Structure 1
């Protein structure tokens, strides 16, 4: 009788990263199953962004491994690593659109200028048509916005364009960096709904970093919390607010008092009289 072991889409083992004397990540171990939407929460300076950059291969850790489809990305050649990167999409915190390109060309950027072999012969007309289809998928009217430039769109519309760009090449893995930052609660909920719908439609594996608890629960299947570079909790995203870990409880409920200490120096001077 044989048994099969499912290999996680992303497997992280004993990952550490420091900058001088500042230990940013400490012995991180994490599995992200294929097709899962995984949310990483934590405060400023907790190591979320550094972890994301390591997974993307933009930073090399001091120790440990990151496997994608069972292969350590740091053992791959440059061409093999580029191939893995081309399987990924990214929605940046501030959309990070190209100001000098019209919206449709921003969306189609990877198709027109990327290095994927299967896209090398795509024509501008084909890229234009595909960009228009994806703009519709994220709830934008391509006929109205396709030829506009980023500074002509609202923040919420720019986020939608960024999402369209992230999914246009049907990536296997999509990263979301603080997807609701700068948006009002209603638009944040709209973006989260679009993210969840697009990820489910593509069957992609997703990793999002956020400090927005409502967003984390809307888009996440699983969640983890980083605190001072350590992974202190993992579980179901819909159980975040019920976690009995005191650090998670304080963070998710926005409590001033608890094990997480925030230094403040406020001096109130009374008026002399």
Structure 2
């Protein structure tokens, strides 16, 4: 591949007190690629995504989208770049006080404009939400329900619908199959792949679900102790030849990865 990556990260570090969570991360994600980052709990996966989203300010390094550094550009440009990202949160993160349609419409009204350049009205956003629900395999009538009336799998679908509502160039997925049974996990992964391809988006997913990682990803990397210790094809995750990756992907107790006691 050639040209400027959609996302380029160089020398990214972040510490909380004495604990270094990210330790010199270098990562290129090419346009149209689905990149999966695996690693154990507390390895820094979510912190990495939050740095890209601007929710956490890193200590050092650069984060570029289409060659423009988020950390050195103006606040207005940073907001515009981040607005091109859609996010599926681990637990859905739906607004309990809003209907499903209004949850999806929230993102639509923030990002889209009508023919006159005005923000979409609430009614227009609700109407469009029905079409987006169809894209994730739900009937438009689901839009009338509240999040509390949905199963875990349906909440994930609605979360995905909200993530793709503004037709983002970049999509982030934070543990997309957590809390789902294997069949529903496969369904959600299939919807994610379909949505990413249909939109032509660039995607980053973080997960410790190996089946999900192989279904979603084109490329993959493993994060351990704040460093990316392996990069390769997602299809090679189960036979990488790397002792650390093999221990993690096969769930072996013995190997170079040691469980640490919290002090």
What is the rounded CA distance, in whole Å, between the counterparts of 1:139 and 1:259 in structure 2?
Answer: 42
Q: Secondary structure at the match of 2:153?
A: helix
What's the counterpart of residue 139 of structure 1? 137
Equivalent pair of 1:98/1:150 in contact (CA under 8 Å): yes
Q: CA deviation at 1:123?
A: 2.2
What is the rounded CA distance, in whole Å, between the counterparts of 1:148 and 1:126 in structure 2?
Answer: 18
For residues 108-163 of structure 1, the C-alpha deviation after alignment (integer angstroms, 9 at most, x for no partner) is: 11122x266667431223212210001001000112x1101000010000000000
What is the rounded CA distance, in whole Å, between the counterparts of 2:90 and 2:22 in structure 1?
Answer: 21
What is the rounded CA distance, in whole Å, between the counterparts of 2:261 and 2:17 in structure 1?
Answer: 26
How many residues align? The count is 260
Structure 2 unmatched runs, 5+: none
Which of 151, 158, 165 matches 2:148? 151
For residues 42-101 of structure 1, the C-alpha deviation after alignment (integer angstroms, 9 at most, x for no partner) is: 001111111111111111111110100001101111111111111110000000101111
What's the counterpart of residue 85 of structure 1? 82
What is the rounded CA distance, in whole Å, between the counterparts of 1:68 and 1:122 in structure 2?
Answer: 27
Which of 90, 101, 105 matches 2:102? 105
Check if 1:65 corresponds to 2:65.
no
Q: CA deviation at 1:264?
A: 7.0
Structure 1 unmatched runs, 5+: 266-273
Check if 1:202 corresponds to 2:195.
no
What is the rounded CA distance, in whole Å, between the counterparts of 2:7 and 2:136 in structure 1?
Answer: 26
Structure-to-structure mapping, 1:161-180, within 5 angstroms: 161-180=158-177
Coordinate RMSD, CA, aligned: 1.6
Equivalent pair of 1:86/1:116 in contact (CA under 8 Å): no
Check if 1:56 corresponds to 2:53.
yes
What is the rounded CA distance, in whole Å, between the counterparts of 1:104 and 1:93 in structure 2?
Answer: 20
What's the counterpart of residue 37 of structure 1? 34
What's the counterpart of residue 222 of structure 2? 225
Q: Secondary structure at the match of 1:38?
A: strand
Q: Secondary structure at the match of 2:71?
A: helix
